[in-house]
Amino acid sequence: MTSLDGATVLVTGANGGLGTQFVHQALTRGATKVYATARRPHDWDDPRIVPLRLDVTDPDSIAAAVDAAPDVTVLINNAGITPATTSLLASSDADLRATFEANFFGPVRLATAFAPLLARHPGASALIDVHSIASWYAFAGSYSASKAALWSATNSLRLELAPQGTQVVGVHVGYVDTPMAATAAGPKVDPAALIAQVYDVLEAGGFEVLGDDLTVQVKQGLAAPVEVLYPQLLG
Ligand SMILES: NC(=O)c1ccc[n+]([C@@H]2O[C@H](COP(=O)([O-])OP(=O)(O)OC[C@H]3O[C@@H](n4cnc5c(N)ncnc54)[C@H](OP(=O)(O)O)[C@@H]3O)[C@@H](O)[C@H]2O)c1
C-alpha cells in the first residue's frame, strides 16, 4: 500500500479532466508536492503544485522531466488521446502510430525512465496507469488496441517493479465526464468520484480499479467465448 501523505506525485496530462482531479486530490490526501505536467503547463496558484512541460511522445521531454523531478514517489500515466476514427480499417498509418505513441510508448517510456527514481522509495512508491474499458472491449479501433497494449505492459511492470517495492495500479473505466468524452452518449462516471476510487485502491494496496458496472461486466465477459462479448458476430 502506498500512502499519499507526504508523497511527491507526477501527473501526465495534468490539464485534462482526470489530470486535474489527480492533482487536487493528491494534495487533499497529504501529498507535499505535485508535478502537474502538460504539453502547455500553466500556473496553478499553489506553491505545492509545480508546473512542468512534458510531452509524453517526446523522449527528450521525458529525460528533461526525470532531471527536473528526481524526488517523484508516485508516477501517474494519465495523458492519452483518442484517434480521429473508431475504425481500425479506416485508420491511417500515421494515426495508428500517433495513438500508440501517446497511449502506449509514452507511458511505457515514462515508467522505464522513472523506475530507478521510484526504486529509491521501496514500499512508498507507485505507478498508476490509466487504461480504459477499451482495453477489454474493441469498440474504438486503434484506441482500444493501444489501451489493450498498455494493459499488458502494466501487467509486466507490476511484476518487474514489485521486487523494488513499487506498487502498480491499473485503471479501467467506461465513459468519464471529461473533455475526451464530451461527444459520447450514455452514462458517464464523475471524474472526482473515479479519482477518489483510484486513490482509495492505491492507499489500500490494490492493483486494479474497475470504475463502473459496465467495466465489471466486460471484464467478466473475457472468460466467456468471444461471441458472448461480441454477440453481433452471430448475426
Ligand atoms: N474520458 C473518458 O471517457 C475516459 C475513459 C477511459 C479512459 N480514459 C483515459 O483517461 C485519461 C485521461 O483522459 P481525460 O478523460 O482526462 O481526457 P482529457 O480531458 O482530454 O485529458 C487528456 C489529457 O492528455 C493530454 N495529452 C494528450 N497527449 C499528450 C501528450 N503527447 N503529452 C502530454 N499530454 C498529453 C492532453 O493534453 P492537452 O491539453 O495538451 O491536449 C489532456 O490534458 C486518458 O488516458 C484517457 O484515455 C478516459
Q: How far is CA 67 from CA 23, 24, 150, 226, in A?
A: 20, 24, 25, 46
Write out pLDDT tens, residues 21-37: 999 999 999 999 999 99
Q: Are strands 49-53 and 74-77 parallel, antiparallel or unpaired?
A: unpaired
Average pLDDT score, the chain: 97
Give residue 20's pLDDT band: very low, low, confident or very high (50, 70, 90).
very high
- Looking at the CA of residue 130, tell me the nearest atom of ligand 1: 45
Q: Catalytic residue, from 33, 35, 137, 143: name it.
A: 143
Among 173, 228, 210, 35, residue whose Cα is nearest residue 117: 35
pLDDT for residue 235 is more than 90 = no
- Looking at the CA of residue 175, tell me the nearest atom of ligand 1: 3
Q: How far away, in angstroms, is 235 Cα from ligand 1 center?
A: 35
Between CA 2 and CA 94 the distance in angstroms is 39
Among 123, 203, 113, residue whose Cα is nearest residue 162: 123
Catalytic site includes residue 143: yes
Kindly write down the DSSP assignment for every residue of 103-120, as one continuous string: IIIHHHHHHHHHHHHHTT
Candidate of 76, 105, 133, 176 to mutate for ligand 1, largest count of ligand atoms within 8 Å of Cβ: 176
pLDDT for residue 201 is more than 90 = yes
Write out pLDDT tens, residues 69-96: 999 999 999 999 999 999 999 999 999 9
Q: Is the CB of 17 under 6 A from ligand 1?
A: yes
Give residue 147's pLDDT band: very low, low, confident or very high (50, 70, 90).
very high
Grid cell locating 96:
495508428
Catalytic site includes residue 219: no
Alpha carbon nearest to ligand 1 atom 3, residue:
175
